[in-house]
Structures are given as C-alpha cells and as structure tokens.
Amino acid sequence: MDTTLQDPLVGQVLDGRYRVDARIAVGGMATVYRAVDTRLDRVLALKVMHPALAADASFVERFIREAKSVARLAHPNVVQVFDQGTDRAYVYLAMEYVSGCTLRDVLRERGALQPRAALDILEPVLAALGAAHRAGFVHRDMKPENVLIGDDGRVKVADFGLVRAVDTVTHTTGAVLGTVSYLAPEQIEQGTADPRVDVYACGVVLYEMLTGAKPYDGGSPAQVLYRHLHEDVPPPSAAVPGMPYELDGLVASATARAPQDRPHDAVALLALTRRARGALTAEQLDAVPPRALAAEHDNAEDRTSVIPRALTVPRPLPVDGDGGDGREHEGSGEDGAAADGVHRTRRLEPPSPAAAPRRRPAVRRGPLAIVAAVLLVLGAGTGVWYINSGQFTKVPPLLEKTEAQARDRLEEAGLEVGTVRRAHSDTVERGAVIDTDPGPGARIRGNDAVSLTVSDGPAFVELPDLAGYRLDKARSVLRQEGLEPGMVTRAFSEDVPEGFVVSTDPATGTRMRAGAAVALTVSKGRPVEVPDVTGEDLEDAKTALEEAGLKVRIATDQVTSEHDKGQVARQSPGEGRRVAEGDTVTLTLSKGPEMVEVPDVVGDSVDDARRKLEGAGFEVEEDRGLLGLFGDTVRSQSVEGGEPAPKGSRITLKIR
C-alpha cells in the first residue's frame, strides 16, 4: 500500500510556492518530501519538521538561524539549502533534490563494499565535513542515511543545520541528539560535540562499509550505547580476514574512545584516509569482500533520537534482587516509535549478563583425583607461559598521536620505542606521529622496538634573492630550495636585461611553506617606442628602426595602398607602441595605389556628381570661382571621365 496517500501534506502547496508531490523518507526529527518549486519550475526536496518540534518557538527560532548559516556553506559534496519558511504549523527547509539512493540502501543491497568503493565514498564525505568544520559547523548525526549517492555517482552529505539546531536546544535541556550506533562516547557522557564526534561517526561508517555490519549489536539501543562507552571498535579484519592493516589503523584512529586521540577534524582524517589509500595495492583495494551476514538490522538504531542525558550515564550492573533484568521501562512501537508518532527514548542500562548455567550437583573427589587435577593445571600453566614468551603482538595505531601518547601506547603493548626521527609534514601537527616502522597493525614479537617518525610541522623556506638570475636558473634554484616556480609575468626594465628575473612575489626573504609556488617577473628589456615609418622608402624605414634598437622583418606579401610602390604601407607594431629593445618590427610594402576608372560627371548637378565619384572611391573637391558661386552644374573635372586614377585620390570639379 502506498503510505504517501495517507500523508496530509502530499498534494498541498506550502507557502503558496512548493507543491508537495511525494513522501521520500521519515526521520526522527522531520519528514522529507519531493516537491516542485512552482516559481522556478524545479524539483527539490522539502524537509518538514515534525509538529511536536515545530510547536517550540525557541527551537524554531534557532532552527531558522542555523538554516541561514548552513545555506552559506557552499560545497559540491553538501546538499544545498535553498529556502526556509513556515506555513501554518509546518516549518520547512527547501533543499537540493538528489536523485539516487542513500549509503544505507547500498549497504542493505550489497553488504560489505570493496575497500576502493568504501574510500571513494568516505573521501567526499570527509571533504564536505571538513568544509563544515572549518566554517564552524558540526554535523552531529553522521550515518549512512545522511550520505546520498546520486545517479551520476556524486556523493553528498545531507542534514547539515537541522542536527546542529536540535542539539542547541536539547543540550540546554540535558539531552543528547544522535543515532545510537554512531554516537561518540563524549556525546553520550557529557553531551558535548566538536568536530571529533563527526570523525568518530565516520570511523563507524567506514567499519560498516568494510564489513557490512555495525561494530556493536545489542538487544536494545541502551546496550549499544553502553558498548560505545566501554569497548573499542574492533578492527575490520576481525570480521573480514585479510583486511589490510592500514584500514584497521584508519578505523582505530577515527574511533578512539578518547577524543584527544582522534584526528582533530575531518580534514585531518581525510589526510590519513588518502595516506592509507596510497599504501594499498590495486589488489587490496579491489578485494571482493564476503557477503555481509548482518545486512538486516533493527531500524530503531538508525533513527535520530533525543536521549535524556541522565539516562545515558552507565548504571552499575544489577545484582540479585534489584530487578535489573535489562528490560525497557517504556512501551515503544516498531522502530522505536510510540503509537502517537513521537520517538521515545529508552533507559540506558549495561548489557544484561548472560544467564548463568545451572549448577551441577557437587561430586566428591578423592585425594588422588585432586592431586592429579592440580598437577594438570600446573602443567597447562607452564605450557601457556612457554607459548606466550614467544607470542606475536600487533603494533598499535599511533598515527597523529603525540610522541608521549605513542610511547605510552607502546609501553602498554609491551613494546619498546626504537629510533625517533623527525620530518616535516603539511598535514600532521607538530609533535604528532607521521609514521611508524613497522606500520600500524603489523605483527611484531613482544618486547621488540617500534621506530617513530614525528612531525616537525610544515617545512618553511626563506625565499632567496633571484633578481638578476636567468629564468631557467631561477627555476632551478627554487626547486633546490623546496619551492615551485609559479606564473611568469614579462615586464620592461631599464636596468635588467631581457630574460632575467626582475622580482618575485612574494618578496625576497619571505618565509614560505615548502612546496609553495613563487611568481616570477622577468625582464622584457629596455622599453622602446616604435617610430612611424609608413609612407617612407624601405631603406629609410630600416635605418630609423635599427637606430631605435629594433630589428626589421619584411613581409612577403605586398598590398595596394595610397603610398607609392616600394614604400612602407603598414608596420606592426604600430606607431607609439612600447616594445623591448631588440624586438622585431614587421614592414609591409606597397604595390602602389589601386587604379579605378573615373566616372564622367560633366553636365551633372553637383550632388549627382559627388554621389558618383565618392561611390567609386574618390574624394571630391569643388572649384566654383566667382562665376560659380550660385551655380549647380559641373563644367569640367580634373581627371577626365573614363581615365584611370588612384583609388582614394581627389577629383576637383569646376562649377558654373
């Protein structure tokens, strides 16, 4: 049955402009419709807040303010906000419509993705979040439902703004906003949210793309929240054997339970992601994952929910007699929504302990049996000690950790710190780990050493003085200094010869980041003003140009002109143009003027005669004398009719 037929908004026109055509999706905070902007005749998505939230005036006020801010966040991987408004009880956002599907649809259909496909989706998501983080926004509800994949393959992040506005309200009332499977520990415990909560959620999404399942499952959302607080996200290789350790390290770095151990924002995580991709072979990137066994799941954990923070603080495990059976205390309908349509929160309790096995009746054992059992235990213990003494362990993920944190992690893992070297990095903050040897996730014997490469931050170079260098030499010096030659501009110089550097931008002595480009201004030589040589004989023209420091080239073709044959008809560059000393001026010689037959106008009126002669390309001059002051008839013409004359020459008419 088409449930959209029961939606009261379908078929209506909101705000006299947006015609609602169909319902696309229903979330915990709003319903999304496909609509048509009747003014601009374009399809868009209309997000309409649930009436229960729209009734809160302070919430609506903050929602509008945040929507305006997010509308200024222009990024190709962010779903754009076009408009915001209210109509009766409806508060809405008009947004870009993306024809396609969500990442959740892809995961339900395909399960785990190939690493290349997972990274192809993650990178534009991080680019969008990075732009938001640098603009001062935090998404707070990253999940596969909010990753849209268009029919053209473009990836866009949705639901910017609404989640921030909701969090602004719920934070002050002691509640946490989010989707339980993707909430960072600090969101659950303190309700705080900075860019690192988005980093955490992206790590969970990456895990889900690589394995086809979420890292935590539980009988209720409360149990999932409890595991976020008390368990590390497992490495994807635990679910998909053979998964490269670079991807294990990437997930571990993004989902570290302590926020200070994660990349500080999505830009930093994007740099780690690209580094991990670069370390993988084509075979590793295109490895076909097993079909996910957990493609079906409870939608209740995918809904954006408002969870009272008082109920998210872990409670002690129940003891006998305290009634702590782990069951929920509030009725809920399908997908965690009550019958009245308002999403209910669930009381967070630690996972209920597995049912204890029934005790078997005690069996009396004789002294010999007890001694044998003790000896067996001692023998087994000795074997375990012997095996563990040569046991391998894995190098923990240390990338972007401070050197002190890395040392602590290695000590906890029973490993030694080897050589510590320093290197510059444009993406990793000063004092943080750039690389390890062996790399994260590598198998290593206990007590072995791990070498660290620690960032010295971006490398800075002092721009040398390049004035007076030839262009090719200046470029070579820049590359030797770790800089890149940039745009070259040519300019005249009275002092610097042609082809040599006049100046740089930025100026000499500027401290620049390694790899930055330097613009060069190169001399065109001393400026020379081109003299006018048109109409002159060729030899005279060449002498004038060469004395000015210019070279002369003669064009192969000649043209007809008003000048005599052999004289200069045209020059390029023309008179008054500034060129460099030694530049070439091209001269085009004249074939002489074009000869045209002169019309016979004797006996014609002055007006008719002028019209005929000018139409043939001649200039006309009237000679009236004393007797022709008031006359209007041509008595004679300076060139007789039918005779040839240079086109453009002057014909004099005598008037009587």
Which residues sit opposite 420 in a β-bridge?
Answer: 452
Respond yes or no: is residue 623 known to be catalytic: no
- Residues 161 and 177: their CA atoms lie apart, in Å, by 13
Joined tokens for residue 338: 């009550």
Find residue 49's DSSP bridge partners.
30
Residues across the chain: 656
Alpha carbon distances (Å) from 318 to 26, 171, 324, 327: 36, 29, 5, 12
225 within 8 A of 187, measured Cβ to Cβ = no
Buried b (16+ CB within 10 A) or exposed e, 407-434: bebbeeeebeeeeeeeebbebbeeebbb
How far is it, in rounded angstroms, from Cα 599 to Cα 653?
12
DSSP H helices, 158-285, are: 162-172, 185-189, 195-211, 221-230, 245-254, 266-279, 282-285
First to last CA, the chain: 104
Q: What separation in angstroms does the CA of 169 have from each of 57, 196, 235, 359, 364?
A: 11, 20, 35, 52, 65
Nearest to 88 by CA among 111, 54, 132: 54
* Number of separate helices (H) and strands (E) present in the chain: 16, 32
Catalytic member of 41, 105, 141, 607: 141
Alpha-carbon span 41 to 33, nearest angstrom: 16
Structural element, H or E, at residue 129:
helix 115-134
Amino acid at 309: R
Cβ 530 vs Cβ 498: under 8 Å: no
What DSSP assignment string belongs to 377-408?
HHHHHHHHHHHHHT-EEEPPP-TT-BHHHHHH
d(CA 424, CA 431): 10
Q: Give the residue from 214, 248, 207 showing the smallest Cα distance to 122.
A: 207
Strand order in the sheet with 634-637: 619-623, 650-655, 634-637
Q: Which active-site residues does the annotation give?
A: 141
